[in-house]
Amino acid sequence: MEEKRRIVKLIEGVKKELSRFNIPYVTEVSEKTRDPFRVLVSCLLSLRTKDEVTARASQRLFQMADTPEKLSSLPVKTIERLIYPVGFYRVKAKTIKAICRELVKRYNSRVPDTVEELVKLKGVGRKTATLVVSMGYGRPAICVDTHVHRITNRWGIVSTGSPHQTELSLYRVVPERYWIELNTLLVAFGQNVCKPISPHCSECGVRRYCPQIGVGKKR
């Protein structure tokens, strides 16, 4: 099968299965609010944290402060209390406050809309930046996290050693119409089917298009 067609079959196949899975919380925030600031803060909270915990912490935090001005004026201790028990809540409270200050001071309280500007904020990596651009602003960008990196390598549509390389390779092979949603699709798929260890290949809807590269033990 022609490679371009195979890639479309893989992505469309995952899309068909999506209704069976919970969608990632940050996607929900993006769909409900269309607010880049909320997407940025919930993404920072979600790192190394379960989705349910991120959801509750974000809601508590946004009830108290939903703009960079309001959030930057909260004491760090208050932010810690509101976001507990997300992973690394102390570090995240400090980071979020510092980012909000920067946004107020340097960006007129507006979240930047390019990856290049976003990564200048201390604590914002490429993954968060591409998520804000794609989910927050609805602009074509591919957010590559551990799920996107692992699955696209298993599919053999990239052959890369780091998420950044994966992102650059994916821009060349994935049709642009899928760039924004690719992260949502593969996070949900990666949490439920194509898991890091022992993926559920025998009941996977896209197995006929997948060469299972690097997969050892599987179910």
Interface with ligand SF4 (CB under 6 A): 154, 193-194, 199-201, 204, 206-207, 210, 212, 215
8 Å CB contact between 60 and 84? no
Distance in Å, CB of 134 to ligand SF4, minimum? 22
- Number of neighbouring beta carbons within 10 Å of residue 204: 20
CB of 12 to ligand SF4, least distance (A): 13
- CB of 215: closest distance to ligand SF4 in angstroms? 5
Task: Report in angstroms how near the CB of residue 14 gets to ligand SF4 at its nearest.
Answer: 8
Tokens of 131: 């998520």
Question: For the stretch 136-174, what's the b/e string if a residue is b when 16 or more beta carbons lie within 10 angstroms of its beta carbon?
Answer: bbeeebbbbbebbbbbbbbbbbbebeebeebbebbeeeb
Smaller CB separation from ligand SF4, 98 or 215: 215
Q: In terms of CB distance, is 116 or 203 closer to ligand SF4? A: 203
Name residue 23's amino acid.
I
Q: Which is nearer to ligand SF4, 74 or 204 (CB)?
A: 204
